[in-house]
Amino acid sequence: MSRFKRKGKKGIGAINTASLPDIVFMLLFFFMTTTVMKEVDLKVNIRLPSTTEAKKLEKKDLVSFIYIGKPSIHFQKLFGTEPRIQLNDQFKAVIDIQDFIAQERDAMNESDQAKMSVSLKVDEETKMGVVTDVKQALRRASALKLNYSSIKVDNMR
Amino acid sequence: MAKREVQPINAGSMADIAFLLLIFFLVTTTMDVDTGLMRRLPPIPDKDQIDTDDKIKERNVFVVLINKNNDLLVENEEMSIYDLRERAREFIANPDDRENLPEKDYKDIQFFGNVYVPKNPVISLRNDRGTEYGTYLMVQNELLAAKNELRDEISMQTFGQKYDDLDEEHQDAVQQYYTSVLSEAEPKNIGGGN
């Protein structure tokens, strides 16, 4: 009988937390691998339009982005408030697009070049004039796969 | 001197360090996925290519114009953007075989057999340089939605699945059932230039 008594006296030991770091590391690695650091600083203000038919953009490394919108506050003194085109980290003009596309294309594997597409991130309030010019420039550069970046919503109204 | 046993390193703070890193990555992670409307631009036409625009019959073309005040003119009628989808659907499918909507013809399509469908409706979209991008994209969206809705309906009826869930072969068949080409007018530079 005394054997049972002794056992009861012992109480509950501290929980072994040795595996806690392992669990945390696992989570850590998950977030490290999924994190995408922002590649460019946006110098223009962009509020994307919403559409119901938007599809997910696959294979982001095959996509080049063109940003169009009003320069953000710090740049307005220098560049005014008219919508401007941003390629990579700089304000550019429509004529520079052809070079930009050629550059982006060169940076890719030869086998991927045909799959290259361009995503236009354009502010809602931009006038179509600039966008049309950009589209024409893209056609001239024969970058014909185009994606109008927009936010997916379920209902427009 | 007695040899002392090496004490194990205290790893208790390892969790804290890992937590710190974890929280940093948690905060900086943006899980947003890019979404958008996929479109294909037409290649630049050859200089000596003949304009074929006027060879398409008027009933096969659905003209959408957007002016600089973001108003729509659809088939010579003013229209709200919210009615556009319905009209576009009617145009693409022509369910009542009306005279002023696209011509229909019998066509052999895999899985469907011989069906009576519109031959080749064309949607023509033209916008002003002053049109807002938001409106332009909304119109594109409605036109695309009209086609997608019709395709979803027919594949639901025939295969009991949504268009997106079908395999490639079936998708091709559905694409042939409802075809419509969106053509954007070549921008015209009134002020000259190139």
Which of B13, B33, B38 would best serve as a mutation to test chain A binding (most A beta carbons within 10 A)? B38
For residues B138 and B114, the answer to whether their CB atoms sit within 8 Å is: no
Name the residue type at position A40. Answer: V
Confidence of residue A122 (pLDDT cuts 50, 70, 90): very high
Q: Is the pLDDT of residue B189 over 60?
A: no
Residue A65 CA to residue A125 CA, distance in Å, equals 19
* Averaged pLDDT score across all residues of chain B: 81
Which of A22, A23, A24 would best serve as a mutation to test chain B binding (most B beta carbons within 10 A)? A24
Confidence of residue B53 (pLDDT cuts 50, 70, 90): low
Q: Do A31 and B18 touch (CB under 8 A)?
A: no
pLDDT digits (tens, 9 = 90+) for A60-108: 778 888 999 999 888 888 888 888 899 888 888 888 898 999 988 888 8
Q: Do B34 and A149 touch (CB under 8 A)?
A: yes
Number of residues that this document lists for chain A: 157
CB pairs under 8 A between A and B: 141
The pLDDT assigned to B14 comes to: 78
Residue B18 CA to residue A21 CA, distance in Å, equals 7
Regarding predicted confidence, which is higher, B124 or B104? B124
The pLDDT assigned to B31 comes to: 67
Chain B residues in contact with A84 by the CB 8 A cut-off are none
Query: Distance from A156 to chain B by nearest Cα, in Å?
Result: 9
- The residue ranges of every structural domain in chain B are 54-184
Residue B170 CA to residue B165 CA, distance in Å, equals 10
Tell me the residues of B at the A interface, defined by beta carbons under 8 Å apart: 11-12, 14-15, 18-19, 21-22, 25-26, 28-31, 33-44, 82, 127-134, 136-138, 140-141, 144-145, 148, 187
Q: Do A126 and B132 touch (CB under 8 A)?
A: yes
Residue B106 CA to residue B115 CA, distance in Å, equals 5
Q: Do A149 and B137 touch (CB under 8 A)?
A: no
Which alpha helices (DSSP H) does chain B contain, by range? 14-28, 81-93, 133-159, 168-177
Q: Please name the member of B33, B131, B137 whose beta carbon is closest to the beta carbon of A49.
A: B137
For range B35-61, the mean pLDDT: 75
Pairing of the two strands B104-109 and B113-118 = antiparallel
Q: Do A55 and B11 touch (CB under 8 A)?
A: no
pLDDT digits (tens, 9 = 90+) for B166-185: 888 888 888 888 887 888 87
Q: What is the ipTM of this complex?
A: 0.75
Query: Distance from A9 to chain B by nearest Cα, in Å?
Result: 28
- Percent of chain B past pLDDT 90, that is, above it, reads 1
pLDDT digits (tens, 9 = 90+) for A19-69: 888 888 888 888 888 776 666 778 888 898 988 888 888 777 788 889 999
Q: Do A136 and B187 touch (CB under 8 A)?
A: yes
Q: Please name the member of B33, B41, B144 whose beta carbon is closest to the beta carbon of A139.
A: B41
The pLDDT assigned to A123 comes to: 92
Q: Model-level pTM?
A: 0.77
Confidence of residue B5 (pLDDT cuts 50, 70, 90): confident
Q: Which fold has domain A44-152?
A: Nucleotidyltransferase; domain 5 (3.30.420)
Token pair listed for A147: 């994606």
Q: Please name the member of B44, B130, B132 whose beta carbon is closest to the beta carbon of A140.
A: B44
The region of weakest confidence among A5-14, A80-89, A137-146, B132-141 is A5-14
Query: Distance from A3 to chain B by nearest Cα, in Å?
Result: 34
